[in-house]
């Protein structure tokens, strides 16, 4: 059985209990060495085989999972954050389906959640934004034209931009083209929840320079929007005069 496990954003105690148990009982672990905290591997039992997928092709990963000598073995495929976000898991699942190998998925804490925690921020504030857009700039992987940054920016919603720290000048230009202003708050979170985490609170207009000055060029998320500002409405749910299914509000 193959378990796709979300390793969490970085800190080794931000994996789920289930994910940690899968690691502890695994006969083989294939981990995304570029971003998964290697400290998680110290939970593996002795004799567990360890493979670093950063140095492997899709076919090599699948060959490890489907090797006849591992039939019946417990195999963990450890992905950074949650595997549903830029995890390249679908293609693995389809090859496992074709090979008749069973698998399941254990969710993880995505880095965008880790970043919100590090920022001590709430992405969805009443009166500010009720939508979070998770996206990226195109790199060697293209992005569909309809999802180009400036068209997503037109919503003025909270945006979390993955995989784009090397292109902040262009990102900033497109965000402004789409409707944010130079002064819209932005925060760059480098290695959220890792011991060497860095947070840069900046603006859409200045974020490229801020990252350059701090020497941040990868492993970061860019968060954008007025959720980082000081103004918002209080929630209805906890408003003393608001009646809910569970509570009668004061007149
Ligand atoms: N599946 C992962 C994302 C993988 S894509 C998740 O759910 O988080 C890799 C990108 O994620 C990186 O380029 C970076 O933009 C972001 N990322 C991953 N871990 C991060 C962390 N701890 N802090 C900031 N950004 C991170």
Could you report the per-residue pLDDT of 81-107, keeping only the tens digit for each?
Answer: 999 999 999 999 999 999 999 999 999
Does residue 66 sit in the same domain as residue 134? no
Does residue 127 sit in the same domain as residue 184? yes
Task: Determine the distance separating the centroid of ligand 1 and the alpha carbon of 79, expressed in angstroms.
Answer: 10
What is the pLDDT, as a whole number, of residue 190? 98
Distance of CA 202 to the CA centre of its chain: 21
Does residue 84 sit in the same domain as residue 127? no
Task: Determine the distance separating the centroid of ligand 1 and the alpha carbon of 151, expressed in angstroms.
Answer: 23
Q: Is residue 81 part of a domain?
A: yes
Cβ(227) – ligand 1 distance below 6 Å: no
Q: Is residue 97 part of a domain?
A: yes
Cβ(191) – ligand 1 distance below 6 Å: yes
Structure tokens at 221: 């998320």
Does residue 133 sit in the same domain as residue 224? yes
Mean pLDDT for the stretch of residues 147-175? 97
Contact yes or no for 135/162 (Cβ under 8 A):
yes
Mean pLDDT for the stretch of residues 62-75? 96
Phi, psi of 70 (to 5 degrees): -105, 10
Q: How far apart are CA 76 and CA 147, in angstroms?
A: 33
Q: Nearest-CA neighbor of 188 among 228, 240, 237, 152?
A: 228
What is the pLDDT, as a whole number, of residue 250? 87
What is the pLDDT, as a whole number, of residue 129? 97
Pick from 77, 106, 135: which residue ends a domain? 106
Domain that holds residue 148: 111-228
Query: How do residues 10-26 score in pLDDT, each as one tens digit?
Result: 999 999 999 999 999 99
Grade residue 146 by pLDDT with cuts at 50, 70 and 90: very high
Task: Determine the distance separating the centroid of ligand 1 and the alpha carbon of 143, expressed in angstroms.
Answer: 17
Does residue 92 sit in the same domain as residue 10? yes
Measured by CA distance, the residue closest to atom 24 of ligand 1 is 220
Grade residue 244 by pLDDT with cuts at 50, 70 and 90: confident
Cβ(221) – ligand 1 distance below 6 Å: yes
Query: How do residues 132-145 score in pLDDT, each as one tens digit?
Result: 999 999 988 999 99
Three-state DSSP state, 48: coil
Task: Determine the distance separating the centroid of ligand 1 and the alpha carbon of 81, expressed in angstroms.
Answer: 7
Does residue 74 sit in the same domain as residue 169? no
Does residue 94 sit in the same domain as residue 141? no
Cβ(86) – ligand 1 distance below 6 Å: yes
Structural domains counted in the chain: 2
Q: How far apart are CA 242 and CA 226, in angstroms?
A: 26
Q: How far apart are CA 150 and CA 210, in angstroms?
A: 21
Does residue 115 sit in the same domain as residue 69? no
pLDDT higher than threshold 80 for residue 163: yes
Pick from 106, 126, 152: which residue ends a domain? 106
Pick from 85, 106, 127: which residue ends a domain? 106
Mean pLDDT for the stretch of residues 139-158? 95
Does residue 84 sit in the same domain as residue 122? no
SS3 content of the chain, % helix, strand, coil (to 5): 35, 20, 45
Query: How do residues 178-225 score in pLDDT, each as one tens digit?
Result: 999 999 999 999 999 999 999 999 999 999 999 999 999 999 999 999
Does residue 146 sit in the same domain as residue 47? no
Q: Where are the alpha helices (DSSP H) in 132-180?
A: 149-153, 168-178
Task: Determine the distance separating the centroid of ligand 1 and the alpha carbon of 154, expressed in angstroms.
Answer: 24
What is the pLDDT, as a whole number, of residue 85? 98
Cβ(110) – ligand 1 distance below 6 Å: yes
pLDDT higher than threshold 80 for residue 52: yes
pLDDT higher than threshold 90 for residue 251: no
Contact yes or no for 129/227 (Cβ under 8 A):
yes
CATH code where residue 50 lies? 3.40.1010.10
What is the pLDDT, as a whole number, of residue 112? 98
Task: Determine the distance separating the centroid of ligand 1 and the alpha carbon of 35, expressed in angstroms.
Answer: 8
Q: Is residue 233 part of a domain?
A: no
CATH code where residue 177 lies? 3.30.950.10
Does residue 160 sit in the same domain as residue 81? no
Q: Nearest-CA neighbor of 89 among 22, 5, 19?
A: 5
Contact yes or no for 60/30 (Cβ under 8 A):
no
Mean pLDDT for the stretch of residues 38-45? 97
Does residue 76 sit in the same domain as residue 161? no
Beta strands in 28-168 (DSSP E): 28-31, 49-52, 75-79, 103-106, 132-136, 158-162
């Amino acid at each position: 059985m193959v378990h796709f496990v979300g390793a969490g954003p970085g800190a080794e105690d931000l994996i789920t209990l289930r994910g940690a148990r899968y690691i502890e009982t695994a006969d083989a672990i294939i981990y995304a060495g570029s971003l998964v905290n290697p400290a998680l591997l110290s939970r593996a039992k002795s004799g567990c085989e360890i493979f670093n997928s950063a140095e492997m092709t899709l076919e090599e990963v699948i060959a490890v999972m489907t090797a006849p000598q591992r039939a019946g073995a417990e195999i963990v495929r450890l992905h950074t954050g949650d595997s549903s976000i830029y995890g390249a898991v679908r293609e693995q699942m389809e090859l496992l389906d074709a090979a008749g190998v069973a698998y399941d998925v254990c969710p993880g804490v995505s880095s965008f959640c880790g970043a919100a925690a590090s920022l001590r921020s709430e992405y969805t504030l009443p009166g500010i934004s009720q939508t979070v857009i998770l996206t990226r700039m195109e790199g060697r992987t293209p992005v569909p034209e309809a999802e180009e940054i400036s068209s997503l920016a037109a919503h003025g919603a909270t945006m979390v931009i993955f995989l784009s720290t090397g292109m902040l000048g262009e990102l900033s230009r497109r965000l402004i083209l789409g409707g944010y202003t130079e002064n819209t708050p932005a925060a760059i979170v480098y290695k959220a929840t890792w011991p060497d985490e860095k947070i840069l609170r900046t603006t859409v207009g200045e974020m490229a320079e801020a990252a350059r000055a701090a020497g941040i060029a990868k492993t970061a998320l860019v968060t954008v929007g007025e959720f980082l500002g000081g103004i918002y409405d209080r929630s209805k749910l906890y408003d003393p005069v608001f009646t809910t299914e569970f509570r009668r509000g004061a007149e």
